[in-house]
Structure 1
Amino acid sequence: MKKIVFIISLAIVAISCGEKKEKKATTETAVLEGTIKVDGSSTVFPITEAVAEEFRTAQPNVKVTIGVSGTGGGFKKFSRGETNLSNASRPIKDKEKAACAENNINYLELEVAYDGLAVLINPENDWVDNFTVEELKKIWEPAAQGVIMKWNQIRPEWPNEEIHLFGPGVASGTYDYFTEAIVGKSGSSRGDFTASEDDHVLVQGIAGDKYSLGFFGLAYYAENKDKLTLIGVNNGEEVVKPTLETVSNGTYRPLSRPLFIYVNSTSVKSAEVVEFVNFYIDNAAELAEDVGYIPLPSELYTKQKENFKAFVESNK
């Protein structure tokens, strides 16, 4: 009996070793190498970085570098063929399309998540509980520069104190979107505000100034809830704050939007880029929510996957 047990044990060990060897062989055939260059929106950065971190675990020999030069800055590099993917918090503009065409850069736009723009004040501010779209326009439109300078010019009962404004830089897709949604024209606003492409700089500015007011992507608020106060926006019917539900169902208007990555046609000839983009689409829903964004409906991710597959096939 002992001999039988010993033989069976050896057989189990042999089978286990065989399984491990087979698994290792399969892993080895799937190993990729190379570098993937991404740049663009600071708003999309947290999602792409979360995807890249997970991807590095699956493909440790692929290096993913992610720059943050704003949506506009990212498209400049993308149009020159300097990057494989471009993070964007708005759709590509006509002049950016033209720049790509001049350099024979063909591309595919992929939606990856939804975002709500957060309107924020300092926690010591005890007079603001909401804004109307009209009030935000009055504060941020070009005509407000040097004119609308104090809180009581917005509502008489608010303090006779200066408003200190913070917002993304003019190369930011968040800036473009906010100005289009609030002021009515993309890229049109007063210029006397503290601007930065780095959302962490904006967080610090608002958190350190009682009379501050600013805006940026919702995910950066989620990371800094203890330092900032989120303000609701009156959509004409009710006051709404950005949440997973209000951004998804469209009630947080007009400050909710889709987020994108763009992939160029040359890059999809590289297996590591194709693998990364497929991995991105497969994991975007879960990872977007992890970093404070709102996933697309599952059928839209399926559609993105189909579009990407067709794009890869057409550019082989």
Structure 2
Amino acid sequence: MRKIFLLIATAAFLSSCGGGQKTNKTESATGAIKIDGSSTVYPVSEAVAEEFRAIQPNVNVTVGESGTGGGFKKFSRNEIDISDASRPITVEEIEACTKAGINFIEIPVAFDGLAVVVSKQNTFIDHLTVAELKKLWEPAAQGTVKTWDQIRSSFPKEPIKLYGAGTASGTYDYFTEAICGKKGASRGDYTASEDDNVLVQGVSNDKNGLAYFGLAYYEQNIDKLKLIPVDNGNGPIAPSQETVGNGTYQPLSRPEFIYVNAKSAERKEVQDFVKFYIQNAGKLAKEIGYVPLGDAEYKLAEERFTKKVTGTMFANGKSIVGTKMSDLLKLEEGK
């Protein structure tokens, strides 16, 4: 009888301590979380989701990549809980959310540098200036700037082939604003896709091609692509963890975001996931090829989510180019 009592007592003790082996799963959440949006943010969100699934196997997290604009459309129709974005939400997208009764929490998760790349077969481009990139991509170039010698006289008279983000992409919005001076200002005669892998495939096989997309996609395809440093007036600088992190790779460095439906954030599984996301985004972003925010910035971002601070830090269409995320978060914190 005494042995039975000891066994029961031991079992009760182990149960109260989580059995010593299941500390991450004893209070397992359940439910489903739907994420969609930016193909640039997708690798970070998928990496976070994969790690989260390991400790919360009863939560079904799905991550899509329909582009920043496509994600916000689904978000404003209440089809997803979280929208990945490689740019801030626009005034029009905010209006769509407001009309649908959707409030949102804006969370920065990492920095990214837009990589300008050519094929390994390209031997004539070693760097480009911002002015040359503008001449290459501005709307006036369509139908008039057709060969590389028009960009720089020392370049060969070979046909220009361009690959870039589709118009629903936040990468498109950022690149056009940073290089051409206005969001959406771009020539239209280029191969466009919201799927960066399509752009990688296209430019890597085209000796006269040039493309732009997130740095992580270059890092994943370094054997196929040649990275082109960009000169913003201080000499050619290539994007890297260091140059994006210290702000010297300009104007093509930018923050990445997730937008959380405020009503979804009332659910335990979403609360657990977003906090896990913020706490692990830095480590996972660095592994993938993005640049983490600073520890203080992640702390402010987590406080923003915990306090359920809704709305955008980029009110009235404020430009993201050259923005310091720490300054914005501190301003929001002081409200």
Q: For 2:18, which of 19, 23, 26 is the aligned residue? A: 23
Q: Summarize the alignment of residues 71-150 of structure 1 with structure 2, pairs less than 5 Å apart.
A: 71-150=68-147
Q: For 2:244, which of 238, 247, 250 is the aligned residue? A: 247
Question: Residues 112-168 of structure 1, C-alpha deviation per residue, up to 9 Å, x if partnerless?
Answer: 000000000011111111000000000000000011010111111111110110001
CA shift at 1:248, angstroms?
1.1
CA shift at 1:22, angstroms?
2.9
Q: TM-score, structure 1 length as denominator?
A: 0.92
Identical aligned residues as a percent = 57
1:167 and 1:195 in contact (8 A); partners too: yes
Q: Summarize the alignment of residues 163-312 of structure 1 with structure 2, pairs less than 5 Å apart.
A: 163-311=160-308
Counterparts of 1:20 and 1:107 in 2: how far apart (Å)?
Answer: 39
CA shift at 1:238, angstroms?
1.4
CA shift at 1:19, angstroms?
3.8
Residue 91 of structure 1: SS of its match in structure 2? coil
Counterparts of 2:99 and 2:42 in 1: how far apart (Å)?
Answer: 27
Counterparts of 1:112 and 1:167 in 2: how far apart (Å)?
Answer: 24
Relative distance call for 1:154 and 1:47 in structure 2 (3 A) is: same
1:8 maps to what in 2? none
Counterparts of 2:135 and 2:301 in 1: how far apart (Å)?
Answer: 39
Gaps of 5+ in 2: 1-5, 311-335
Q: Summarize the alignment of residues 4-83 of structure 1 with structure 2, pairs less than 5 Å apart.
A: 18-19=13-14, 22-24=17-19, 29-83=26-80
1:160 maps to what in 2? 157
Question: Residues 262-298 of structure 1, C-alpha deviation per residue, up to 9 Å, x if partnerless?
Answer: 0011101211000000000010010000111000000
1:6 maps to what in 2? none
Counterparts of 1:147 and 1:22 in 2: how far apart (Å)?
Answer: 72
1:265 and 1:312 in contact (8 A); partners too: no
Gaps of 5+ in 1: 1-10
Counterparts of 2:283 and 2:134 in 1: how far apart (Å)?
Answer: 35
Counterparts of 2:234 and 2:18 in 1: how far apart (Å)?
Answer: 58
Counterparts of 1:261 and 1:268 in 2: how far apart (Å)?
Answer: 13
Counterparts of 2:237 and 2:95 in 1: how far apart (Å)?
Answer: 38
Relative distance call for 1:27 and 1:185 in structure 2 (3 A) is: closer
1:145 and 1:192 in contact (8 A); partners too: yes
2:24 and 2:55 in contact (8 A); partners too: no
Counterparts of 1:79 and 1:119 in 2: how far apart (Å)?
Answer: 32
CA shift at 1:198, angstroms?
0.7
- 1:252 maps to a residue whose letter is Y
Moved more, 15-24 or 208-217: 15-24
Counterparts of 2:25 and 2:120 in 1: how far apart (Å)?
Answer: 53
RMSD across aligned positions (CA): 1.9
- 1:222 maps to a residue whose letter is E
Residue 30 of structure 1: SS of its match in structure 2? coil
Counterparts of 1:99 and 1:172 in 2: how far apart (Å)?
Answer: 18
Residue 182 of structure 1: SS of its match in structure 2? helix
CA shift at 1:188, angstroms?
1.2
2:148 maps to what in 1? 151
Counterparts of 1:28 and 1:181 in 2: how far apart (Å)?
Answer: 45
Residue 275 of structure 1: SS of its match in structure 2? helix
Which is higher, the Rg of structure 1 or of structure 2? 1
Residue 282 of structure 1: SS of its match in structure 2? helix
Relative distance call for 1:135 and 1:26 in structure 2 (3 A) is: closer
Counterparts of 1:230 and 1:70 in 2: how far apart (Å)?
Answer: 24
